A and B are shown apart, each in its own frame.
Chain A
Amino acid sequence: MKVIELNKNALSSNDADAEILRGELKEKGIFLINLMSAAGSGKTTLISRTITDLREREPGLEIGVMEADIASDVDAAAIEALGAKSIQVHTGGCCHMDAVMTRESLEAFGAFEGSPRIIFLENVGNLICPAEFDTGAHLKVMILSLPEGDDKPLKYPLMFAESDALIITKMDAAPYFDFDIDAACRRAKALNPDIAVFPVSAKTRDGMQEWEAWLLEKAEAL
């Protein structure tokens, strides 16, 4: 037997699959967003609000949502109620989506036919594993909600380091929590100087416009 040195990240095969998927989607003009957060931070609510608002701006805009969950389909049902196309993906006990699972879901969704043009992947609710697995998305967006606390960048650094945008949501609840928004921003930027930060409330719609404008800009630059 001979020794072969590899010195490769254990997830390098996933990284390669993700890169190929990202390129294929781009060629077809499909923009994929990987939305990550802890359970209950407000992913489904933010997606619903964003879809409603974007459709108001651009009535013909086709948006789809892939809801990844270990079980249940309540999130997909909530999206369908808005009249947007959605699919529920069960991860079979897995705590994250990887590039192969994302490709399979996109196939089941019929996305490779070129519609919808903007697709949200609501990842499994958890701040650890989804950060490690590249799904092939063009944009990684994370949500941190006020009740979770401003220390989360210190506890889950990889998620903050990997995300293109940080949405701080449930801002309407600010009077009830001692969340220090400056400290949260400072800690997130120490890990990732380029991260875009959007404080919003999906309930009162405060701050949603800035986030939506940024998102459309990124989608157009694909």
Chain B
Amino acid sequence: MHEMGIIIHLAKTLEDTAREEGLVRIGSVTLRVGEVSGIVTDYFEDCWNYFKKRHPVLQDCRLIIETIPAVTRCSSCGQDYETVKYGRECPYCHSGETWLVQGNECVIKQIEAE
């Protein structure tokens, strides 16, 4: 379970941050999740709602997800294009030699806390 694996680490990072910054309650966490990160956001939220109950500082922490669009670059012609729309084949020159520039991330952007 990919989502649960990430949630465990997310909770740990937030707990560490709370300890370092002397926070008693984290009200929300904003994550930036890549469009092709493989994270199923509905499922991710279910995991979060289940898991946060185990951590007192996270009890009422809302999960806010922002999507990072996936962009692929073509090694043959150098152009960028939308990964989700065109897949691995470059729509400009039809080369298959392409790579993902962004869209695979899972970044903790910010928290709201007191």
Q: Is A179 an interface residue, CB under 8 A from the partner?
A: no
Q: Kindly identify which residue among A13, A95, A154, A158 contacts B104, using a CB–CB cutoff of 8 Å.
A: A158
Q: Are A128 and B38 in contact (CB under 8 A)?
A: yes
Q: Is B66 an interface residue, CB under 8 A from the partner?
A: no
Q: Is A57 an interface residue, CB under 8 A from the partner?
A: no
Q: Is A221 an interface residue, CB under 8 A from the partner?
A: no
Q: Are A4 and B110 in contact (CB under 8 A)?
A: yes
- CA–CA, A5 to B32, complex, Å? 12
Nearest neighbor of A129 in chain B, beta-carbon distance: B2
Known contacts being A6-B110, A7-B108, is A96 close to B5, with CB within 8 Å?
yes
Known contacts being A14-B9, A187-B97, is A2 close to B113, with CB within 8 Å?
yes
User: In the complex, how many angstroms separate the beta carbon of A89 from the nearest chain B beta carbon?
Assistant: 15
* Interface majority SS (helix, strand, loop, mixed), chain B: mixed
Q: Mark B49-91, 1 if CB is under 8 A from A, else 0.
A: 0000000000000000000000000010000000000001000
Q: Mark A139-163, 1 if CB is under 8 A from B, else 0.
A: 0000000000001001101100000
Q: Is A81 an interface residue, CB under 8 A from the partner?
A: no
Q: Are B9 and A11 in contact (CB under 8 A)?
A: yes
Q: Is A196 an interface residue, CB under 8 A from the partner?
A: no
Nearest neighbor of A133 in chain B, beta-carbon distance: B5
Nearest neighbor of B27 in chain A, beta-carbon distance: A1
Q: Are A4 and B6 in contact (CB under 8 A)?
A: no
Q: Is B13 an interface residue, CB under 8 A from the partner?
A: yes
Q: Mark B2-18, 1 if CB is under 8 A from A, else 0.
A: 10111011101100110
CB-defined contacts of B1 to chain A, threshold 8 Å: 93-95
Q: Are A3 and B110 in contact (CB under 8 A)?
A: yes
The size class of the interface chain A forms with chain B is 20 to 34
Known contacts being A94-B1, A129-B5, A191-B99, is A13 close to B13, with CB within 8 Å?
yes
Q: Are A4 and B111 in contact (CB under 8 A)?
A: yes
Q: Kindly identify which residue among A10, A128, A151, A190 contacts B75, using a CB–CB cutoff of 8 Å.
A: A190
Q: Mark A77-112, 1 if CB is under 8 A from B, else 0.
A: 000000000000000011110100000000000000
Known contacts being A4-B21, A96-B5, A190-B97, is A10 close to B108, with CB within 8 Å?
yes
CB-defined contacts of B12 to chain A, threshold 8 Å: 13
- CA–CA, A9 to B27, complex, Å? 20
B binding-site residues for A, Cβ under 8 Å? 1-2, 4-6, 8-10, 12-13, 16-17, 21, 27, 31, 38, 75, 88, 96-100, 104-114
A binding-site residues for B, Cβ under 8 Å? 1-14, 93-96, 98, 128-129, 133, 151, 154-155, 157-158, 187, 190-191
Given contacts A10-B31, A14-B9, 7 further A-B contacts (CB under 8 A): A1-B114, A7-B107, A11-B106, A13-B13, A129-B2, A155-B88, A190-B75
